[in-house]
Amino acid sequence: MSYSTVEEKSEASWLPPWRSFLKGVVKTAGITFLGTTSIISAVTAGGLLGLAVSFRNLPDVRMLRTYVPKQTSYIYDIKGRLLSTFHGEENRKLVSLDQVSPYLKLAVIAIEDSHFYEHQGINPNSILRALRANLRQGEVVEGASTITMQLVKNLFLSHERTFSRKLPEAVLAIRVEQVFTKDEILEFYLNNIYWGHNSYGVQTAAESYFGKSAAELTLAESAMMAGLIQAPEQYSPFINYQATKKRQAVVLRRMRELGWISPEEEKAALAEPLLVAKPTAWAGSVLPFVTDAVQKELEKYFTPEEIERGGLYIQTTIDYDLQRMAEVLVREEIRNLAFRGVNADQIALVAVDPRTHFVKVLVGGVDYQKSQFNRATQSNRQPGSAFKPFVYYTALATGKYRPETIVEDKEIVYQDIQGPYEPKNYDDEFLGEISFEKSLVISRNIPAVNLGQVRWGEENKILLDKVIEVCQTLGIESELMPIISLPLGSMGVTPLEMAGAYATFASNGWHSQPTLIVRVTNREGELLLDHTPEPKLVLNPWATATLTSMLQKVITEGTGMPANIGRPAAGKTGTTSSERDVWFVGYVPQLAVAVWVGNDQFQPLGKNITGGQHAAPIWRKFMLSALQNEPVEYFPNPYDFPIPEG
């Protein structure tokens, strides 16, 4: 950003030469001469500077060098498409003076302070005129504020109209003029003032009223905008278009009287219709479940004060097209489930890229307008058998189990703190001795519970203690306790946690913290937050590859066959014993996806409702669309890695 030097501040470089109004003679009622103005200016300024000694506690105006007003923050998708904006009370986007239309600069100066480029912060003629009016009334009824005085009032002082406030205002205005150039002061002013409808600063106002940048404003639009400053809501075109046009005419007439526009330009601008847009201050998000979650994640890295200050530019990990496709699919599938007699009112879907652990899709429910609760990130629901892969991986990582290892599917009773606990299979039958792999592929419950109680290691702990450690390593933050039924998914987790954890299986043990944010910068492009992936190998490669080969068979020959997409894929069904939640969580090397189907009131979904029959088909439809332009990729072969010693 470049400004005029102090020596140049009497010349506005953005003004066309033939419109320069800095003639050396001020046109006030056509009779005030330069000599008289200069004498009054000197006397008034000198007197006020003398009073400055009594104002030692006034703010240091040099703080404006580093002052940054509150601004709006912007959220974009992975490809830079705007998803949403958010802000506190002040909806503002800062721009430099050269990004403002010359027409608007002329219009504002004409109606607010036509001698702005001549005075040193105060206009003595206006002061004398206002002083006479105020003395007659015994109170402040007329102001004499220059643009500089308005600026210091907005930034440093109260807005009360009192004599006692006017003196500090004038002193500060003179101080500001001594430190900053005229162009700098005008830029501060245009970026700080209120333009109505929660729009602060000229850029936000231009976007709100006309859907364009401040640089693109025409003469007619500029005159309307300048007219708003005195009373933004009173002259708002959204409230009273006729009042807007009358105020616009006042501004244009003043510009013509000053010789800054011709009568023909004035007439043409008056005749031009104002094609106003609509207020943007509280515009909604195009992906509200996503942007709500993004703002929540920001709270991990920025203080409330930093978020309130705004000016953040957030690039998210979300793929807009993929997200939109998923949202449409979820709405279609909830209707399909109802048609099939399933008592479900919600679906959540999360997709994570295993190569980066970037969240590509996050659908928190069927309809954000009806419920803003984000089931993808906030709802802890029992995952059922979709939890078993964590148990089977942990068992494999001990080195004591192979896919062909024999486990027992027999009746057993455990003593729990609440009494006897007898695990059951979904079909209430027992298969006796079966292979470790088959017990997972066809989702037998009893072998999974038995595995959790196996003692291992020098400390002779049960396997479930290690399972919980593995889950925490994979990013599951929901509380997990080593209760006997944990292998059956009896403790709640979120769909985001499940998708993120399975993404680490998909990457064969390489893990990054799942995130919705790629990076955050400020207005100057300074990097404030960088989530460039730094994956770490957190799982045993052989155990992970072996688990994946087993989970592939879940889809090709087990409970997850409705999820078959015709390419290498692995996954696991999940159904709670009460049939309140059904899941399918699965992956290919490029994408891991969790689908949850349930009911907000925790009511049963119906009889014989399973993850394989009701969640897996939704997963399949999503994956077929998401991967249609993706090449087929293959998982690592377990034989390429050493088996851990048991």
Active site members: 112, 385
The amino acid at 619: W
Q: Encoding tokens for residue 437?
A: 């792999």
Backbone φ and ψ for 102, nearest 5 degrees, come out as -55, -35
Helix extents (H) in 56-123:
102-112
User: Quick check: 592 and 337 in contact, CB under 8 A?
Assistant: no
Distance from C-alpha of 364 to C-alpha of 293, rounded to nearest angstrom: 9
User: Quick check: 213 and 96 in contact, CB under 8 A?
Assistant: no
Say how far residue 366 (Cα) sits from the centre of its chain: 20
Distance from C-alpha of 351 to C-alpha of 360, rounded to nearest angstrom: 5
Distance from C-alpha of 175 to C-alpha of 67, rounded to nearest angstrom: 16
Residue of 497, 539, 492, 537 whose CA lies nearest to 514: 497
DSSP letter (8 states) at residue 632: P
Give 251-297 as a 3 state SS string: HHHHHHHCCCCCHHHHHHHHHCCCCCCCCCCCCCCCCHHHHHHHHHH
Centre a 10 Å sphere on the Cβ of residue 429 and count the other Cβ atoms it contains: 9
Centre a 10 Å sphere on the Cβ of residue 140 and count the other Cβ atoms it contains: 18
Q: CA 187, 193, 194 angle in degrees (round to 5)?
A: 150
Distance from C-alpha of 149 to C-alpha of 146, rounded to nearest angstrom: 5
DSSP letter (8 states) at residue 157: S
Residue of 242, 147, 234, 250 whose CA lies nearest to 196: 234
User: Quick check: 584 and 621 in contact, CB under 8 A?
Assistant: no
Q: What count of Cα atoms within 13 Å lies in the side-chain half-sphere of residue 152?
A: 26
User: Quick check: 248 and 224 in contact, CB under 8 A?
Assistant: yes
Q: Is 527 helix (H, G, I), strand (E, B) or coil?
A: strand
Q: Which residues pair with 91 in a beta bridge?
A: 199
User: Quick check: 161 and 171 in contact, CB under 8 A?
Assistant: no
The amino acid at 59: P
Q: Encoding tokens for residue 486?
A: 């944990």
DSSP letter (8 states) at residue 522: -
Q: Pairing mode, if any, of strands 406-409 and 199-200? A: unpaired
Distance from C-alpha of 36 to C-alpha of 192, rounded to nearest angstrom: 33
Residue of 98, 246, 272 whose CA lies nearest to 186: 98
Residue of 429, 584, 418, 577 whose CA lies nearest to 490: 577
Q: Pairing mode, if any, of strands 73-76 and 82-86? A: antiparallel
Say how far residue 614 (Cα) sits from the centre of its chain: 33
